Amino acid sequence: MFAGCAVAAYTWSMDSPEKTIVVAIDDNEPSRRAVDAALVLVRPGEALNFVHAVDSASVLLPVSEGMIVDTQPLLKELMDDAQALCNAAIAKARERGITATSTIVHGAAADAIVRFATATNPDMIVLGTHARTGLSRLFNGSVAEEILRSSPVPVAVAHVDDVERVGPLAVALNDSESSRAAFHFAVARARQSGEALLIVYVRPAHELHVTPPFIEHYDREAQAAGIAVSSVIWSGEIAHAIVGAADEHHCSAIVMGTEGRSAIERIIEHSIANRVVEIAKLPVAVVRAVPDRSTVAVEAVL
């Protein structure tokens, strides 16, 4: 599927010795969809790490309020349930010959998973969501939205009712650093999978009807990487245009950047990314432009 300012593009290396996809799991339908999506997204040489967050706050709350409660049985039950969930996901991956491990992290789900990704620098995080048009309140403020906002690595969001297609990987681009990060990520995934790329550019209403130079640059760069690439220019509301182009060309997934150079750009791009995740009926990978992590093991911060 999928320069000289203070923020550089997210870097991904085909030669990275350890390539891992983190799959955020819980005992619900979106998480089961995330597992299925990860089994499709994983490429040769990659492993899956199923990560489940155990939040013991509800168990420990009575103690913090002065009540005398034996919390050990309850905490053990939480851990046993978490391990069983992880074991089931691992078994499903290994049935397909995919290398898989699991990690149990502690704390509120979004914060714990982001901290884990910051420390381990996986290729991406895969998670599930119910988000759909008219139900944005179920997405905004959710675990998925918080991880999208805070993850230092690309996040692929799968929906419980996504359609499955065998087609090009749509990558929505403009002239921002986050778009360049998204392009590099899409190129890396396409090189692994053999998929073609569809470059999608949504033209502002005031812009002249000419192809922007950066689109031609991206096109040449993809071709130089040996990837079949085409481009389309749409107009209209940005999120709907991106999804419309992906649907019209039967794309398998959408890749896009989030967070621009300025505070206003960050707000706008994050809002557009959220909207695409809400309305798309195919997986959406959201990539932030972050400082180059290739020379450091752990970096504080999406």
Structure confidence at residue 12 (pLDDT): 39
Q: Which residue in 242, 302, 287, 276 sits closest to 131, CA to CA?
A: 276
3-state helix, strand, coil in the chain (%, to 5): 40, 20, 40
E-assigned strand segments in the chain: 19-24, 46-54, 100-106, 124-129, 155-159, 169-172, 197-203, 229-235, 253-258, 284-288
Residue 142 confidence (pLDDT) above 90:
no
Most confident of the ranges 45-59, 74-88, 93-107: 93-107
* SS3 state at 126: strand
Residue 209 pLDDT more than 70? yes
What span, in angstroms and rounded, lies between the C-alpha atoms of 116 and 95?
A: 26
Residue 256: partners with Cβ closer than 8 Å, 6 or more residues away: 171, 172, 179, 182, 242, 272, 273, 276, 284, 285, 286, 287
Q: What is the mean pLDDT of the chain?
A: 80
Burial class (CB in 10 A: 0-12, 13-18, 19+), 167: middle
Condensed to tens digits (0 to 9), the pLDDT of residues 11-45 reads 333 344 458 999 999 988 889 999 999 998 888 88
pLDDT at 89 over 50: yes
* pLDDT tens-place string over residues 149-172: 889 899 999 988 888 888 999 999
CATH number of 19-61+68-288: 3.40.50.12370
pTM greater than the 0.85 cutoff: no
Integer CA distances (angstroms), 57 to 54, 71, 75, 107, 137, in order: 9, 11, 10, 8, 24
CB environment 73-94: b (16+ within 10 A), e (fewer): eeeeebeeebeebbeebbebbe
